Homo-oligomer: A and B are copies of this chain.
Amino acid sequence: MDEKGILIVVSGFSGSGKGTLMKELLARYPDTYALSVSATTRAPREGEADGREYFFVSKDEFEKMIAKGELIEYARYVENYYGTPRDYVEKQLEKGRDVILEIEIQGALSIKKMFPDTLLLFVTPPCAEELRNRLVGRGTETMDVIQSRMDRACEEAEGMEDYDYLIVNDSLNRCVEEMHAIIRGEHRKSSRNREFIQKIKQDLERLKH
């Protein structure tokens, strides 16, 4: 069966809990999944390590990576670049690990266009009110920030139907297992197992005689 890894893009509303969800998925199944580490030109924040949170590179280095085609997607926010190094992703997929990228919709759709086998997952709370309640509940955000997050959520919701699956984050434990089950299921898609199908057909023909 399909032993090659699947490239998985996870997006979702700010406040949907996708960070926690992915951390937990990786912790439970460390041999199954690999988290892609992005390259960025922004300065490391306290506690961030090069190669763990990000690969921290200069603007020059980043632009060389773009020119050499070493990024499978990149974007520029304000004055900083963010991108996904191709090399790490491809090596992990070859090893049979599913590689998870956490990026926003524009990046997600451009990756899907380039690599149609990419699996797009969208993490959402069970309802819009819940999203607002979580942001308010954090207690660390001003109402202005919450308002701008809700505005942003409206924009983020625009592309929801372009994702393959919705991951409804109501309870962490259930949700991690559901995400895992969805990805395991994807490995059983006929479209991902053309070689297996070809082999069984040939062997059946052979055994007829």
Contacts and interface: CB of A to CB of B under 8 A. Distances in A.
B164 A132 contact: no
A128 B201 CA distance: 8
A27 interface: no
Interface size class of A (residues with CB under 8 A): 35 or more
A191 B163 CA distance: 9
Given A151-B208, A194-B161, A204-B153, A166 B1 contact: yes
Work out how many copies of this chain go into the complex: 2
B165 A208 contact: no
Contacts of A206: 128
Nearest to A154: B204
Contacts of A129: 203, 207
A200 interface: yes
A150 interface: yes
A160 B197 contact: yes
B168 A1 contact: yes
Which of A128, A189, A194 gathers the greatest number of chain B CB atoms within 10 Å? A128
Contact of A166 (B165, B193, B203): B193
Interface of A: 1, 122, 124, 126-129, 131-132, 147, 150-151, 153-154, 157-158, 160-168, 178, 181-182, 184-186, 188-191, 193-194, 196-197, 199-201, 203-208
17 contacts: A124-B200, A127-B200, A128-B200, A132-B207, A147-B208, A150-B204, A150-B208, A153-B204, A154-B201, A154-B205, A157-B197, A157-B204, A160-B197, A165-B188, A168-B188, A181-B185, A182-B185
